[in-house]
């Protein structure tokens, strides 16, 4: 039980650091990019461009706030349930890191959505005309991709039979 508490504390500390960094970068975007022209960091490739996004990642689910909050609640509750249920072995460390990333991103964007009704996006890859995004979107995307890779190539079905503990 003590080890699970330590794992939960470490998870929450890492998530808090991730959330802080996300909120800090969004605050910097508001202070330095709002009502300003885009700042070209690498001309033709990457820009900092302020955008208020009322939808989910990359502008999806615009106008579907209730559905979005239901999905976010399910994701967050699933992550917290897994945090409690996962065995305390090194084998699951990558999964825990994925959970920290996804949780931090979900909470970071939810803070904006609840307090402002929109999420501040500011990172733009103009080379491929990729939708404007933010640090929380990076957390969720990277965490999800790594989770899928590990689920397909590393973990087996038996790894997730929690009743064998």
Count of Cβ atoms closer than 10 Å to residue 125 Cβ? 14
Distance (Å, whole) CA 47 – CA 123:
6
Catalytic residue (one of 112, 129, 137, 163): 137
Distance (Å, whole) CA 125 – CA 130:
5
Catalytic residue (one of 22, 121, 157, 158): 121
Question: Active site includes 159?
Answer: no
Q: Is 120 helix (H, G, I), strand (E, B) or coil?
A: strand
Helix (H) or strand (E) holding 48: strand 46-53
Token readout for 2 is 């003590």
Distance (Å, whole) CA 42 – CA 48:
10
Question: Active site includes 163?
Answer: no
Catalytic residue positions, numbered: 121, 137
């Amino acid at each position: 039980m003590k080890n699970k508490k330590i794992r939960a504390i470490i998870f929450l500390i890492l998530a808090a650091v991730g959330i802080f960094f996300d909120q800090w970068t969004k605050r910097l975007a508001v202070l330095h990019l709002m009502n300003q022209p885009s700042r070209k960091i690498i001309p033709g490739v990457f820009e900092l461009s302020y955008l208020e996004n009322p939808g989910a990642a990359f502008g999806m689910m615009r106008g579907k706030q209730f559905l979005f909050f239901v999905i976010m609640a399910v994701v967050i509750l699933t992550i917290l349930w897994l945090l409690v249920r996962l065995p305390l072995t090194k084998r699951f460390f990558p999964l825990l890191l994925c959970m920290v990333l996804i949780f931090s991103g979900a909470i970071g964007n939810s803070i904006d959505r609840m307090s402002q009704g929109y999420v501040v996006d500011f990172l733009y890859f103009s080379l491929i005309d990729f939708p404007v995004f933010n640090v929380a979107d990076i957390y969720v995307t990277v965490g999800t991709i790594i989770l899928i890779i590990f689920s397909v190539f590393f973990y087996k079905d038996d790894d997730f039979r929690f009743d064998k503990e």
